[in-house]
Amino acid sequence: MNLTAESHRVPLSDGNSIPLLGLGTYADPQKTPKGSCLESVKIAIDTGYRHIDGAFVYYNEHEVGQAIREKIAEGKIKREDIFYCGKLWNTCHPPELVRPTLEKTLKILQLDYVDLYIIELPMAFKPGDAIYPKDENGKFIYHETDLCATWEAMEACKDAGLAKSIGVSNFNRRQLEMILNKPGLKYKPVSNQVECHPYFTQPKLLEFCRQHDIVIVGYSPLGTSRDETWVNVSSPPLLKDPVLNAIGKKYNKTAAQVALRFSIQRGVVVIPKSFNPQRIRENFQIFDFSLTEKEMKEIEALNKNVRYVELLM
């Protein structure tokens, strides 16, 4: 695949398109200084990023919105240049909550629409103010969900112009099939955001999604921040991998750049998170080299089929 920074978008099944590289914005709110997300999104836009991945539960969506609006006011970009992906949280699956939840996100962002709105997880928690509702024994309070009914409410958000495209996240094949086979389906999910990187290459899901025109957006493309509170750190750090480093040496690139290039060359959209100016720029420098077929195969062979993000809840 011949990719350049100018042409780095992939078509979506609804006629829209998504930039192959986006900035992830999840950072532990307890450990991250206020304003870092704002500054990072602005640096990313100046660097050339046009795709930002966020969520209500990242607690920094207001900073993302502010950064986008400031860059528009500066004349650096227009709203239509930006691709923002927001997410419907687990406590908001009942169909009557979907539109008000998206409207709340738009209010926080101070934007009129999101480019992509996705169901964050195929399981639900009890609706209410608690993001992680728990009982008196500290156990999560789950809630039954009818993913097809939630999907119909997502379709209504697209029809209302609040989301240009709609998709899902963390869905397996069976859950995707439930939506694809839903009687009266109006819009297919355009994308499925899942963990995807050289140690977890998702070959079967990737093939299934390809057959159904569903773009895979790979989260944790650099192997996560290795935060022990939610990451399986028994799997070795991706960026220390000798093969990725050796290939990087050949092209004068880092292991991170090789990992990202590997994904985009497979048609997987990547959303690396960085709030560090140098690394934000580094992660963008992946359009000026390409991996050979042999190198792609070598990296594919690194697959361990082990997730960093186990989502134990």
Q: Give me the residues that bind ligand NAP (CB under 6 A), please.
A: 24-26, 53, 120, 169-170, 193, 219-225, 239, 254, 256, 271-276, 279, 282-283, 309
In the chain the beta strands, taken as DSSP E runs, fall at 9-11, 17-19, 23-24, 51-53, 83-88, 114-119, 124-125, 142-143, 163-169, 191-195, 215-219, 269-270
Backbone angles phi, psi at 217, to 5 degrees: -105, 120
Rank residues 165 and 169 by Cβ distance to ligand NAP and give the closer one. Answer: 169
**Residue 21 Cβ, how far from ligand NAP at the closest point, in Å?**
11
117 is catalytic: no
- Closest CB to ligand NAP belongs to which residue? 24
Q: How far is the CB of 128 from ligand NAP (least distance, A)?
A: 21
CB atoms within 10 A of CB 238: 23
- In one-letter notation, the amino acid at residue 45 is I
Question: Smallest gap, in angstroms, from Cβ of residue 275 to ligand NAP?
Answer: 4
Distance CA 125, CA 128 (A): 9
DSSP one-letter code for 237: P
190 neighbors 116 (Cβ within 8 angstroms): yes
Beta 215-219 vs 269-270: how paired, if at all? parallel
Nearer residue to ligand NAP within complex by CB, 222 or 244: 222
Query: CA angle, corner 275, sides to 168 and 234, nearest 5?
Result: 70
Of 254, 258, 214, 193, nearest to 53 by C-alpha is 193
- Long-range contacts, stretch 130-139, CB < 8 angstroms, 24+ apart: 130/91, 131/57, 131/89, 131/91, 132/313, 133/91
Closer CB to ligand NAP, residue 157 or residue 271?
A: 271
Tell me the residue type at 19: P
Minimum distance, C-beta of residue 75 to ligand NAP, in the bound complex (Å): 27
Tracing tokens 């990296």 back to the chain, one arrives at: 299
Task: Kindly tell me which of 183 and 258 has the beta carbon lying closer to ligand NAP.
Answer: 258
Q: How far is CA 116 from the centre of its chain?
A: 10
Of the candidates 311, 281, 299, the residue with the CA atom closest to the CA atom of residue 244: 299
143 is in an annotated binding site: yes
Closest contact distance (angstroms) between CB of 136 and ligand NAP is 28
Query: Which is nearer to ligand NAP, 79 or 279 (by Cβ)?
Result: 279
Q: Which is the catalytic residue, given 49, 58, 84, 199?
A: 58
Cα 18 to Cα 82: distance, rounded to the nearest angstrom: 10
Residue ranges at the known binding site: 143
Residue ranges at the known binding site for substrate: 143
The catalytic residues are: 58
